[in-house]
A and B are shown apart, each in its own frame.
Chain A
Amino acid sequence: MAQSATATYDDRRRSFLSSLYSFGKTFPGLMAMLFIAVFANNLPGVPNPFTLSNLFAWLDGVIGPLNHQPMFQLLNSNFVWNPLLLGLIIGNLFGVPNIWKPGLSYIHMLMPLGIIMLAPHFIVPHAAKLGVWPIIICTGSMFLTASITLALARVFKLDDRHGSIIAGGLSTGDPHACAILMPLIKAKGGQVVNAVICVIGFGLISMIVLPMVGSMTNIPEKYMGLAAIVGVGNGHQALFAAFQSGYEAGRFAFWFDIGRHVIMPAGFLYVFIFMFIRKLRSPNNSEIKATRGIKRFPIWLGVFIFCWILACLHLFKEPAHHAIFNMVQWDFSLAAAALGLSISFKEIIAVGYKGFIVTCIAGFLRILLILGAIFLCVKTGLLPI
């Protein structure tokens, strides 16, 4: 089927713009993506109060904060997962009409577009204020977590696409990385959503476990903030863990979070390059499925790296940086709506629970290593009190 579709495309192709099809053909699908995005998020420029995001915010107000964090933020409600959730519900309850499908194929254009526009968001020099050792701990933790997760995925014979997506999400401490890695790893939608559930699920466990283990070590509150950021990740889950250790830990978690955030692209680039080289070394190994179909380094990823370097050189000043990020919110919301529509609940469940076991083992190992490293750094004076 896919081959005949490709042959048809090659026949009617006139330029690269042929991949956008005709306006009439794509309009229904694009409208479906637009309405899901607009009713899921408070998107810049859209004064719509009836959004899933506002519903969650209202429920957060009813429930009240948990360790100063809104509950739905702890469950990772954001501009990617709200439309994905809405798309999943609509697609599974009502199905996806054929007339939408040409427009929904724009997801493949929106993914590289959004990822490139994300580059100005990661200004590495912003982390310089943290000092050398917190930066080393953040960076080391990221690469170590990714490596441990990929190794464990092999031990547990996990599909390497699923393992790679988990490695990206867990190591960067941001489930967004799972979606970013999807086109790079060539993972299935069900594997991506399953991996996100693994990362968020483990985050909910670790935000309770990390402060409990940390309290046995006498690490100062300031550095429990750092431990929460690198040991839990996932934004509000890390802040929950930090505030559980104390108010100072919570305040310093905000301070240290920049160290995890700005190097995030290095995390998903590492996972992609690692899996890409592995596939190039064993081109005939049928067990290696990750990055299968990618014959050379993607040009758009090169453009992303180029823009990231420009961002680090402070080319994109504050207003432009925020305006570009607003466009990212639009882009990812539309893409997530299409992704949600493409997945059935059965596909997510069919991926299985082994990914969660791998996530938990890798995550708990990370917590122990992080607490050990911070404890040693404090005792040796590398991290001043």
Chain B
Amino acid sequence: MEKKSHTIDSTGFDYMANTGKEEQDRDTCGIVLALIIISVLTLFQYLGLY
């Protein structure tokens, strides 16, 4: 019950649960965003923008 009050809302959604297709999608978002940030920052350096 203690954990419920911290992570589960009244509809049964648990924000710390991370399984199935939703987990894969969150991983994909992380990978895409990481590659964009790393590529842009590295490219800006090679182009002499900072």
Residues of A close to B6: CB separation below 8 A: 91, 95-96, 341-344
Determine chain A's interface SS by DSSP, over half rule.
Answer: helix
Residues of B close to A299: CB separation below 8 A: 27-28, 31
Determine chain B's interface SS by DSSP, over half rule.
Answer: helix
Residues of B close to A214: CB separation below 8 A: none
Q: Does A80 contact B (CB under 8 A)?
A: no
- B19→A6 contact, CB < 8 A: yes
What separation, in Å, do the CA atoms of A43 and B50 have in the docked complex? 20
User: What 0/1 readout, one digit per residue, does chain A (1-43) give for beta carbons within 8 Å of chain B?
Assistant: 1101110011001001111100000000100000000000000
- B5→A95 contact, CB < 8 A: yes
Decide: A298 near B27, CB < 8 A? Known: A117-B34, A303-B35, A342-B6.
Answer: yes
- B45→A113 contact, CB < 8 A: no
User: What 0/1 readout, one digit per residue, does chain B (7-44) give for beta carbons within 8 Å of chain A?
Assistant: 11110111111111111111111110111011001101
Q: Does A180 contact B (CB under 8 A)?
A: no
Residues of A close to B21: CB separation below 8 A: 6, 9-10, 13
Chain A nearest CB: distance from B36 CB in Å? 10
Q: Within A83-119, which residues are at the interface with B (CB < 8 Å)?
A: 91, 95-96, 98, 101-102, 104-105, 107-113, 116-117
Return the chain A residue nearest B42 by Cβ: A320
Q: Which one of A138-146, A195-203, A311-319 is at the interface? A: A311-319
Q: Which of B3, B9, B20, B31 contacts A300 (CB 8 A)?
A: B31
Residues of A close to B16: CB separation below 8 A: 105, 107, 189, 342
Return the chain A residue nearest B32 by Cβ: A16
Chain B nearest CB: distance from A18 CB in Å? 7
- B22→A6 contact, CB < 8 A: yes
- A96→B7 contact, CB < 8 A: yes
Q: Within A361-385, which residues are at the interface with B (CB < 8 Å)?
A: none
Decide: A108 near B7, CB < 8 A? Known: A113-B34, A117-B38, A324-B41.
Answer: no
Return the chain A residue nearest B33 by Cβ: A113
What separation, in Å, do the CA atoms of A117 and B44 have in the docked complex? 16
Residues of A close to B2: CB separation below 8 A: 344, 346-347
Which interface class (under 10, 10 to 19, 20 to 34, 35 or more) fits A?
35 or more
Q: Which of A102, A110, A320 contacts B13 (CB 8 A)?
A: A102
Chain A nearest CB: distance from B48 CB in Å? 10
Residues of B close to A5: CB separation below 8 A: 12-14, 17
Residues of A close to B42: CB separation below 8 A: 315-316, 320, 324
- B37→A9 contact, CB < 8 A: no
- A101→B7 contact, CB < 8 A: yes
Chain B nearest CB: distance from A46 CB in Å? 18
Return the chain B residue nearest A1 by Cβ: B12
Q: Within A312-360, which residues are at the interface with B (CB < 8 Å)?
A: 315-317, 319-320, 323-324, 327, 338, 341-344, 346-347
- A344→B3 contact, CB < 8 A: yes
- B5→A9 contact, CB < 8 A: no
- A112→B31 contact, CB < 8 A: yes
Q: Within A262-300, which residues are at the interface with B (CB < 8 Å)?
A: 293, 298-300
Residues of B close to A183: CB separation below 8 A: 18
What separation, in Å, do the CA atoms of A357 and B16 have in the docked complex? 29
- A98→B9 contact, CB < 8 A: yes
Q: Which of A107, A315, A327, A342 contacts B37 (CB 8 A)?
A: A327
What separation, in Å, do the CA atoms of A53 and B40 have in the docked complex? 30
Residues of B close to A96: CB separation below 8 A: 5-7
Having A303-B35, A327-B41, A347-B3, one finds 11 other A-B pairs with CB under 8 Å, namely A2-B19, A6-B21, A6-B22, A101-B15, A108-B27, A109-B26, A299-B31, A303-B31, A315-B42, A316-B38, A346-B2
